[in-house]
Amino acid sequence: MGRNIVLIGMPGSGKSTIGKRLAERLGMEFCDIDEYIEKKEGRTISDIFKYGEAHFREIEKKAVREVSKMQPLVIATGGGIVLKDCNIRALKENGVIIFIDRNLDDILSDVDVSRRPLLKNGKDQLCSLYEDRIELYKKYCDIQILNDKGIDQVIDDIIEAIGMENTDLHGEVIISKQT
Ligand SMILES: Nc1ncnc2c1ncn2[C@@H]1O[C@H](COP(=O)(O)OP(=O)(O)OP(=O)(O)O)[C@@H](O)[C@H]1O
Ligand SMILES: O=C(O)C1=C[C@@H](O)[C@@H](O)[C@H](O)C1
Ligand SMILES: [Mg+2]
């Protein structure tokens, strides 16, 4: 059975949008872990956060374990998935991890802070999350893809990079085409 394609990155970096369309292009199923959690719990992420971030992270950890075992999927993860290394270990067992690396200014202009409890105090919080997490995204990914162009081009870059990754390249592949 084929491997999962797992997208990690900041809130607003494009994981859900790119993931859905990548899955369509590859004829794979798509799973958004935030949506999986909301469906399974029958409540929104914001409602879960009312019981504290630690409570959400435990639910997220369980969801990651479950989703990682289903394959082959394109998986869009929550922005904080990198905060527990067991999440990454589970996702890596059956999957290649792709960091969708989007410039903070572009994220700030697009992200929907109303649906993200960690961003409820506004966009300054996003900058501080970025500083805390950027090294984790880089460290944990197999492939880093710059989302600084049209979505279709980003998807082309991912498909090209996965082809390279599957044949003989191991370690970090950075696609940074200037178009
Ligand atoms: N390359 C791009 N060109 C134009 N718009 C983009 C691009 N990448 C992302 N966007 C837009 O940015 C917004 C955020 O994208 P998306 O919701 O897919 O991010 P996400 O990583 O899933 O965020 P979250 O972690 O909050 O769920 C969307 O409105 C999306 O259309
Ligand atoms: O960046 C984060 O920590 C989060 C991002 C969202 O995808 C959700 O998973 C949740 O709001 C937490
Ligand atoms: Mg999303």
CB of 79 shorter than 6 A to ligand 2:
yes
Q: 3-state DSSP call for residue 175? A: strand
Q: Alpha-carbon distance 9 to 29, whole Å?
A: 20
CB of 116 shorter than 6 A to ligand 1:
yes
Q: Are 98 and 5 in contact (CB under 8 A)?
A: yes
Rounded to 5°, the CA angle 156-162-165 comes to 145
CB of 12 shorter than 6 A to ligand 2:
no
Q: Read off the pLDDT of each residue in 1-7 and give the average, rounded to a whole number.
A: 89
Q: Does 79 carry a binding-site annotation?
A: yes
CB of 80 shorter than 6 A to ligand 1:
no
Has residue 142 got a pLDDT over 90? Answer: yes
Q: Alpha-carbon distance 15 to 112, whole Å?
A: 13
Q: Are 163 and 135 in contact (CB under 8 A)?
A: no
Has residue 145 got a pLDDT over 50? Answer: yes
Has residue 159 got a pLDDT over 80? Answer: yes
Mean pLDDT, the chain, whole residue set: 88
Q: Where are the domains of the chain?
A: 4-175
pTM for the model stands at 0.91
Structure token pair of residue 55 = 């409570």
Query: Distance from the CA of 85 to the center of ligand 2, in angstroms?
Result: 16
Interface pTM (ipTM) of the complex? 0.97
Superfamily of domain 4-175: P-loop containing nucleotide triphosphate hydrolases (3.40.50.300)
Out of 7, 15, 16, 17, give the residue to mutate to test ligand 1, the one with the largest number of ligand atoms within 8 Å of its CB. 17
CB of 110 shorter than 6 A to ligand 1:
yes
72-81 residue pLDDT tens: 999 999 999 9
Give the side-chain half-sphere CA count within 13 A for 71: 17
Ion ligand 3 neighbours, Cβ < 5 Å: 16
Q: Does 44 carry a binding-site annotation?
A: no
Question: Which are the contacts of 155, defined by CB distance < 8 A and separation ≥ 6?
Answer: 18, 21, 22, 25
Structural Rg of the chain based on CA atoms: 15
